[in-house]
């Protein structure tokens, strides 16, 4: 399993001057640099189910997109996750943006998983970044909205992700502050809904993720995330220790403030939980489309047929392994999913394969550093 460097920040708020929404007052470090192990298969999985604005998803297209992203990454066990810098810099700008943004979404998921010691088997992710046309009327086209909604027991957390292919800044940037200010109206409209934002900086030396939360830990967080690393940066841990947010679950059920004239055009027309339900239905449709267009290897996982295939990670030179995007005919029972995911975790494996794999709903993602088509690592 590879790892990233995590830097944690907290912001404080003050009343806005130009409109009724709050704005960022200050942003402070709340923990020294932390070393965070990352299972890259989860970062791939969230991109596998990305919803297009319209149209159908085809397996071979989505497989190629994920293959492209993975071919730009080095993911050696025990080393930092890093870009293959030389080939990345030689690529077209639109490809670099796609890879950076995909990494950014994946690192948001990694940070939230670490904060809540959570795995996708016990919660679902709904994507808001690219909504289908049928849902366009439920969100404003002019206001910033989260990229993901994490629907966990007792809590719906909104997440916003940015991806960059440059060295991390030494201090909070104007762009980061502006992005937070753009997210606060959405949070405020939904009863100070809990929000986390991440900026992922991927380079040839490694990946650094900046995690921003409102002053006071996120609902349900127990402390700083990851393992300590030496850092000369000053921290202000009292901001992290403030209990400024409501208890888990309460914020999601708090009614929004009274609507002002014209406000209905500016924000989501449904609650975060309602939006999660609607978008999850769209994600189910994507799983159906992927299953219907994927090859059938005549393989079962948990005694359920799976469609999909392994693809070599060899688009940019010598192969660095292979990866699998599989889609189950139907979701496995939760206890079976938990049992298989427990078996697949690197800490519980003794074969030294460097496998990164998990099952989430109907999705099966596996990355193997040895290459080939090692179905025996995940199949019955």
Assigned domain for 291 exists = no
Do 346 and 245 share a structural domain?
no
Kindly state the DSSP code that residue 246 receives in the 8-state scheme. Answer: P
Q: What is the CA radius of gyration of the chain?
A: 20
From 285, 312, 344, give the residue that closes a domain: 285
- Closest among 299, 282, 288 to 58, alpha carbons compared: 288
Predicted pLDDT at 101: 93
Assigned domain for 292 exists = no
**pTM, 2 dp:** 0.84
Predicted pLDDT at 262: 39
Q: Which domain holds residue 361?
A: 297-377
Predicted pLDDT at 110: 86
From 259, 285, 311, give the residue that closes a domain: 285
Do 306 and 274 share a structural domain?
no
Q: Centre a 10 Å sphere on the Cβ of residue 241 and count the other Cβ atoms it contains.
A: 14
| Mean pLDDT confidence for 202-208 | 96
Do 167 and 27 share a structural domain?
yes
Does residue 286 carry a pLDDT above 50? yes
Distance CA 302, CA 323 (A): 19
From 262, 285, 308, give the residue that closes a domain: 285
- Interior CA angle at 325 toward 152 and 275, to 5°? 30
Do 301 and 222 share a structural domain?
no
57-91: pLDDT as tens digits: 999 999 999 999 999 999 888 899 999 999 999 99
Length of the chain: 380
Do 359 and 242 share a structural domain?
no
Predicted pLDDT at 204: 96
The secondary structure of 48-110 as a DSSP string is HTPPPSSS---HHHHHHHHHHHHHTEE--TTSB-EE-HHHHHTS-HHHHHHHHHHHHHHHHHH
Does residue 317 carry a pLDDT above 90? no
- Closest among 223, 224, 216, 254 to 12, alpha carbons compared: 216
> Between these two residues, 158 and 313, which has the higher pLDDT value?
313
The secondary structure of 165-232 as a DSSP string is SSPPPSS--HHHHHHHHHHHHHHHHTTS--EEEEEEEE-SS-EEEEEEEESSPPTT--S--SEE----
Do 273 and 124 share a structural domain?
yes
> Between these two residues, 226 and 220, which has the higher pLDDT value?
226
Assigned domain for 175 exists = yes
Distance CA 199, CA 160 (A): 9
Assigned domain for 361 exists = yes
Angstrom distances, CA of residue 226 to CA of 98, 128, 243: 27, 27, 21
Do 364 and 263 share a structural domain?
no
Do 140 and 50 share a structural domain?
yes
Domains of the chain: total: 2
Assigned domain for 218 exists = yes
1-46: pLDDT as tens digits: 789 999 989 899 898 877 777 899 999 888 788 899 888 888 888 8
Predicted pLDDT at 311: 96
For residue 305, give the 3-state DSSP assignment.
strand
Predicted pLDDT at 187: 85
Assigned domain for 329 exists = yes
316 within 8 A of 72, measured Cβ to Cβ: yes
Do 351 and 239 share a structural domain?
no
Do 233 and 138 share a structural domain?
yes
Does residue 219 carry a pLDDT above 80? no
110-139: pLDDT as tens digits: 888 887 776 544 456 655 544 333 433 444
Do 339 and 239 share a structural domain?
no
Do 310 and 193 share a structural domain?
no
> Between these two residues, 203 and 318, which has the higher pLDDT value?
203
Of the ranges 103-107, 187-191, 366-370, which one carries the lowest mean pLDDT score? 187-191
Q: Which of 41-45, 96-100, 180-184 has the largest mean confidence?
A: 96-100
**Predicted confidence band of residue 141 (pLDDT cuts 50, 70, 90):** very low
């Amino acid at each position: 399993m590879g790892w990233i460097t995590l830097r944690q920040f907290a912001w404080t708020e003050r009343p806005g001057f130009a409109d009724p929404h709050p704005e960022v007052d200050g942003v402070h470090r709340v923990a020294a640099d932390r070393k965070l192990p990352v299972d890259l298969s989860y970062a791939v999985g969230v991109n596998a189910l990305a919803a297009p604005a319209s149209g159908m998803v085809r397996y071979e297209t989505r497989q190629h997109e994920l293959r492209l992203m993975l071919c730009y990454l080095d993911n050696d066990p025990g080393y930092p996750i890093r870009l293959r810098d030389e080939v990345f810099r030689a690529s077209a700008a639109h490809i670099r943006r796609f890879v950076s943004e995909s990494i950014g979404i994946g690192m948001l998921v990694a940070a939230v998983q670490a904060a809540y010691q959570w795995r996708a088997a016990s919660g679902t992710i709904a994507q808001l970044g690219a909504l289908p046309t049928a849902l366009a009327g439920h969100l404003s086209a002019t206001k910033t909205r989260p990229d993901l909604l994490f629907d966990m027991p007792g809590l719906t957390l909104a997440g916003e992700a940015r991806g960059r292919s440059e060295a991390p800044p030494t201090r909070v940037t104007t762009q980061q502050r502006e992005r937070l200010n753009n997210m606060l109206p959405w949070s405020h409209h939904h009863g100070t809904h809990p929000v986390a934002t991440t900026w992922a900086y991927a380079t040839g030396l490694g990946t650094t993720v900046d995690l921003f939360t409102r002053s006071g830990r996120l609902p349900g967080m127990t402390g700083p995330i990851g393992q300590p690393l030496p850092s000369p940066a000053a921290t202000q841990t009292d901001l992290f220790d403030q209990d400024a947010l409501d208890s888990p679950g309460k914020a999601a059920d708090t009614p929004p403030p009274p609507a002002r004239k014209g406000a209905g055009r500016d924000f989501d027309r449904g609650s975060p939980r309602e939006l999660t339900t609607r978008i999850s239905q769209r994600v189910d449709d994507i799983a159906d489309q992927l299953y219907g267009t994927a090859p059938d290897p005549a393989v079962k996982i948990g005694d359920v047929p799976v469609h999909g295939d392994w693809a070599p990670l060899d688009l940019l030179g010598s192969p660095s392994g292979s990866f699998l995007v599989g889609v189950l005919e139907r979701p496995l029972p939760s206890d079976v999913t938990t049992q298989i995911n427990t078996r697949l975790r690197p800490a519980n494996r003794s074969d030294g394969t460097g496998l990164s794999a998990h099952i989430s709903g109907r999705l099966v993602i596996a990355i193997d550093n040895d290459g080939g088509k090692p179905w025996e690592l995940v199949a019955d």
